Amino acid sequence: MQKQYDLIIIGGGVLGTFHAYHALKKGLKVALIEKNIQPMGATVRNFGQVVPSGMDSKWQAYGRRSLEIYKSIQSEYDISARQNGTVYIASNEEELQLLEELYSINKRNNYKSLLLTKEECLRKYPGLRSNYVIAGLFFPDEITVEPRLMITRLHKYLIDKLGLEVMNNLNVLHCEPLQGRVEITTSMNKTLKASKVIICNGNDFKTLYPEVFETSNLEVCKLQMMQTKPLKNYQLPGSILTGWTVRRYESFSECPSFKGIKAKEPETSFQKKWGVHILFKQATDGSVIIGDSHEYADAKNADALGFDLNMELDEFMLNEAKKIIALPNFEIAKRWYGNYSQCKNTDIFTYDVDDNIHIITGIGGKGMTGSAGFSEENIKSIYK
């Protein structure tokens, strides 16, 4: 007999997977369909930072809940989550002012952070250049993950512990309402039925509902990153986010001085053109990931972003990174780009095809940090 599911989720990235997690916790029978052998999109092409500190107040609440969920799963099953904290480094008085203002905001929000002196930053982060740093703001509760490892281990945890069914290498061709339920037709002539369907993959959304996609106001962001060869006998704890990050992340836009400081920035700089802010994170093999940049195009014209790496941009980021930290060496082993979709006019794209088919995508750069917390609330909303 054909299997019946309470919920089918299309898209096995972090957003879809955490929707599955919360549905399973409610006791629902859930299947997760991933078109590739494993997720290949934004989920596995990022730094692997879970940083509620970088989000506005609404999404910080989701991010803080995400921290609790990651840590809870990690206590049962190793998904590569490490609580090693996040630091924002100020390189001048304007950035320091923003750090102090964000510290006050988070104190009111009861989210723990610590202001670090220049000397404390230099002691904690080996190689940080004395002529760059003047102070730091440290968030001790934040974590890092290894993205490619995390998502595959999270799938295995949900399969082994909560009974999730994962179907890889399967393309969804049609998704149709049928007498109060939903029927899905996939490649390999497979038909599946469920009470509800959630579509969390932008590419599947484009294929299944092209008219909705065309009017969705989604855009795609292309980011470039690079990774050094493993650095022996060198440890860089947690995530290091620098002065340009302080000037970019949403959380700082809530600081009283932010608009005035941003207004003084030159509009024609190379850094501004490509949306560069310099981040560092050490992977478990000892290598250091460096990035990143931001280039945008409407989702329906995403191919215009191209498939090539902009090597001038990579060299610019590498040279800026060398001004901030003196690593044992900067020999690059890997270079890549990632794409994520976001909605121009809302913080995430949601669309109800009907009462039983829901599109949830365009979470932007908030996916790794916000998905676990957001999905919990969204599953409650969908199931009333």
- Write the secondary structure of 254-310 as one string of H (helix), E (strand) and C (coil): HCCCHHHHHHCCCCCCHHHHCCCCCEEEECCCCCEEEECCCEEEEHHHHHHHCCCCC
Give me the residues paired with residue 197 across strands. Answer: 8, 357
pLDDT tens across the length of the chain (384 residues): 568 999 999 999 999 999 999 999 999 999 999 999 999 989 999 999 999 999 999 999 999 999 999 999 999 999 999 999 999 999 999 999 999 999 999 999 999 999 999 999 999 999 999 999 999 999 999 999 999 999 999 999 999 999 999 999 999 999 999 989 999 999 888 899 999 999 998 878 888 999 999 889 999 999 999 999 999 999 999 999 999 999 999 999 999 999 999 999 998 999 999 999 999 999 999 999 999 999 999 998 889 999 999 999 999 999 999 999 999 999 999 999 999 999 998 999 999 999 999 999 999 999 999 999 999 999 999 998
What was the pLDDT predicted at 188? 83
The token pair that represents 338 in the structure block: 């990632």
Query: What's the CA gap between 235 and 174, in Å, rounded?
Result: 49
CA distance to 34, 127, 128, 168, 218, per residue, from 186 (Å): 11, 52, 52, 11, 25
Tokens representing 116 are 């670090």
Which tokens belong to 310?
Answer: 């902009």
Residue 326: φ, ψ to 5° = -100, 90
Question: Shortest CA distance to 299 belongs to which of 222, 352, 360, 237?
Answer: 222
Fold assignment, 1-82+143-217+345-384: FAD/NAD(P)-binding domain (3.50.50)
CB 269 within 8 A of CB 354: no
290 close to 58: Cβ distance less than 8 angstroms: no
**pLDDT recorded at residue 223:** 96
Q: Are 24 and 57 in contact (CB under 8 A)?
A: no
Q: Which residues of 162-193 are buried (b: 16+ CB within 10 A; e: fewer)?
A: eebbbbeebbbeebeeeeeebbbebeeeeebe
Q: Which amino acid makes up residue 300? A: K
Rounded Cα–Cα distance for residues 239 and 229 (Å):
18
**Element spanning 311, H or E:** helix 311-324
- CA 125 from chain centre, in angstroms, equals 24
Burial of 289 (0-12, 13-18, 19+ CB in 10 A): buried
Q: What is the CATH number of domain 86-140+218-344?
A: 3.30.9.10
Q: What is the pLDDT of residue 33?
A: 97
The residue extents of the domains of the chain are 1-82+143-217+345-384, 86-140+218-344
In whole angstroms, what separates CA 176 from the centre of its chain? Answer: 30
The two most distant CA atoms of the chain are separated, in Å, by 69
Which residues make beta-bridge pairs with 90?
135
Block residue for tokens 């460096």: 290
Return the half-sphere exposure (C-beta side, CA atoms, 13 A cut-off) of residue 383.
19
**Phi-psi region at 46: left, alpha or beta (left = phi > 0; alpha = psi -120 to 50):** beta
Task: Return the DSSP state at 49.
Answer: E
313 in helix, strand or coil?
helix
